[in-house]
Structure 1
Amino acid sequence: MAKKETKSTIDFPFGRENYVLMLIGIVVIFIGFALMAGGGSDDPAVWNPEIFSARRITVAPIVVMIGFVIEVVAIVKKSKE
């Protein structure tokens, strides 16, 4: 009787490229949230208009959304492996 050779590889749901894209997406999301941080005042009686800067109101949310789009692409992309 011939013995069948069994393949003992683990079948991951995503390929290496998918995981790299997911990691890039997470980093971009964290960068976006870091751009939103700050702008507060140490003294609550003092108004700091820096909280409404273009970086916090416009750029940071766009960067976060780009990160989420990268995450969706990483999940939907067909693995070549």
Structure 2
Amino acid sequence: MSKNNKLAFTKQNYILMVAGIVVLILGFILMSMDTEPYGFGILGLTIGPMTVLAGFIIQFFAILHKSKEDK
């Protein structure tokens, strides 16, 4: 087999992806924990969405991250 048949992602990419998924789930859980009516509290409007956004940013970097061996 030649070295051109490598997988697109490395172990570090998958670790970052799992971390991003965990942060996304945490953000949705935070939004659902809001006790204010219709989710208009601090958890539903600020902390939860910011956590979800951080999870998507982690996913973005997990997909685009290149290992030093590929450079």
**Bin of the TM-score, shorter chain as denominator length:** 0.7 to 0.9
TM-score (norm 1): 0.70
| Code of the aligned partner of 1:15 | T
CA radius of gyration, larger in: 1
The root-mean-square deviation of aligned C-alpha atoms, in Å, is 2.3
Query: Which 4+ runs in 1 deviate beyond 3 A?
Result: none
Match runs of 1:2-81 below 5 Å: 6=1, 11-39=6-34, 49=37, 51-81=39-69
CA distance in 2, matches of 1:80, 1:17: 11
Name which structure has the greater RCO, CA cutoff 8 Å, separation 6+. Answer: 1
Distance change in 2, residues 1:63/1:39 (3 Å): closer
Q: Which runs of 5+ in 1 are unaligned?
A: 1-5, 41-47
Q: Percent identity?
A: 40
Q: Which runs of 5+ in 2 are unaligned?
A: none
